[in-house]
Structure 1
Amino acid sequence: MFIKRGEIMSKSMRFIRHTIYIGQPSERTSCVVGDINNDGTPEVIIAAREPKREIYWLGRARSGQWEYHLIDDTFDRVEAGGALADIDGDGKLELVAGGDWQGNIIYWWDSPDDPTKPWIRREIFRMPQNQSHDQMIADVDGDGKNELIAGLSWYRPPKKLGENWERHEFARGYVSPKSVVADFDCDGKPEIVISEGDASLNNRQYGRVVMFKSKNDPTDMWEPYILHNKLLDPHSLQTADFDGDGTPDLFVGEMGLPNGDHPHPPAQRIYLSRGNKMEEHIIDEGIGTHEAKVIVIDDKVGIVGKPYRNLRSSAPRGPEVDGVHLWLPE
């Protein structure tokens, strides 16, 4: 496995950035994508915690403009992460999200028949500690059953409910890992990719993106392959087939430093899988993105996300810092 780096997307694969929403200065945490009104087009859910606590969704109208709809503004602070799922079996997607470092509650928001109306917030449970971020579910050992990837370990579920999960480390020495799983080299075995999304909070100037390949026994430590080692808090990590060749590719988005003092412009990258190599392509730079997600609009596979900048920062704050941005192939 090796990395071919530094390329700009070819003209046939150029991505264009569209700003679909501009809000007031805010600390926006969560970004989730799904078709919540069953119109066949995905919507974007955004959560913010300061100065105004709100969760809202953006939907594309027939005019092509994206419209704002409030979900809730009466909750505690929500952390990055979150997911959409049909919790109660009514055929509608509900939102699940948890508290940040000041809260320990996992909530779900029940979508009403008219999702443009405020949603009903319900409590799922209270965790023993504060802050809930995201995890990953995938079959990492090839047994046909899903395992849980959290941090730098994967967990095999027990045969009987109530028994302990079987933990296996695949790596050590990385901080604040976000993860995705896919068979990038098409060898029949999945790879795990992690990005050090909050490296700056761990006193590191740069974060890494690393692909791990299992050896013969997936319960052993996995072999690391560094894709990049000088990224500014790469807090967005997604996988999709961006070039339509039938194999999974990788998106890595630099958030930039939370205080806005960037040693280089944050960039958005796509790594195209090419068998035993990953080709790096910069699709945009200058605007950081946080918790970006894959979105399919008009049969085009793109990315939607928003910057994150804490309100204590003295760095210049242009309107793009408080926007929601959509990258689509030209």
Structure 2
Amino acid sequence: MVAEWVSFSVIDTERQDWARGWAALKKFTEREHHARVPYGHREGATPLGQWVAEQRRAYGAGQMTGQRAARLEKLGMVWSLVDERFQENLEAAKAYYDLHWTLCAPRSATALDRPVGQWLSNLRRPGALDGHPDWEAALLAVDEDWNTVWPAEWQRHYAALRELVADEQDQTGAADVLPGLTVHGMDIGKWLAKQRTPAVWQALTEGQRERLEAVGVTPPTPARESEAPVASTVPLSAFEKGVAALAQYKARTGSMTVPRGHVERLEDGAEVRLGVFLSNSKSRRAKLTPDKLATLAGLGLEWAAATYSCGELHEGLQA
């Protein structure tokens, strides 16, 4: 009888303590709208943060009944804080995808007030998803090309092209996407024209070519020897060579970041010190003609676009 009384008293006390903890968590969730309780938080006289941590420990050790686990989950209990943070960032990634049709976001991208670009960049690092196959599956469900082997900038342009073609009611495909058609600050038509050039097309990976062909982009037809264009006898200026080298570099790498020591070899065999050309052009931008600034701006150089815009504004004020 003594043993039974002791057993009943201990079990009953434990149940009462658990019930008080659950009631305190319910009060917290009704006020804060989540169950992420800081470890040091007290809800009245109840050390709720410690109590929640103990529930997670018991759950992970298999020492919690299904009924208690279900009651906690109804209050929004999250057993793994790491998984919770992933789900919150995933929602931000979905919001970004809805606007940009791709998860190949630049590192500076944000969505739902979260640094989604940096978060996705971190997950692309080797080994970042080891032990989390469910995370990778969740990302693939949003965008199967979220982690491509080709440049992210290329994928952003392609995603915009894919959506433009999908919106075409007459099903004419990519043929109507002409230079000047801009989406999210990207000239998709100009980009598409570059992809269709033989040199750039050959430099693409098989996966890139498959995606372009899927939206109606036809491979360029190799010119026959009899139809080969006659080489111009007028030599290119240093600026024209630099522009050609920059366009070639951007088409091949999808980037405008050029190391200062980089040398680009043109199709005719000429070598251009592209890094030096860009550095010199930027430092002398105030002396460049509007035509040259416009050419560089058209390739995506922000400093050239800004200088060109300021020049136009100045001329407008003078007029």
> Normalising to structure 1: TM-score of the pair?
0.21
> Which protein has the bigger helix share?
2
State the structure with bigger RCO (CA 8 A, min sep 6), 1 or 2.
1
> Which protein has the bigger strand share?
1
Looking at CA atoms only, which structure, 1 or 2, has the larger radius of gyration? 2
> Normalising to structure 2: TM-score of the pair?
0.22
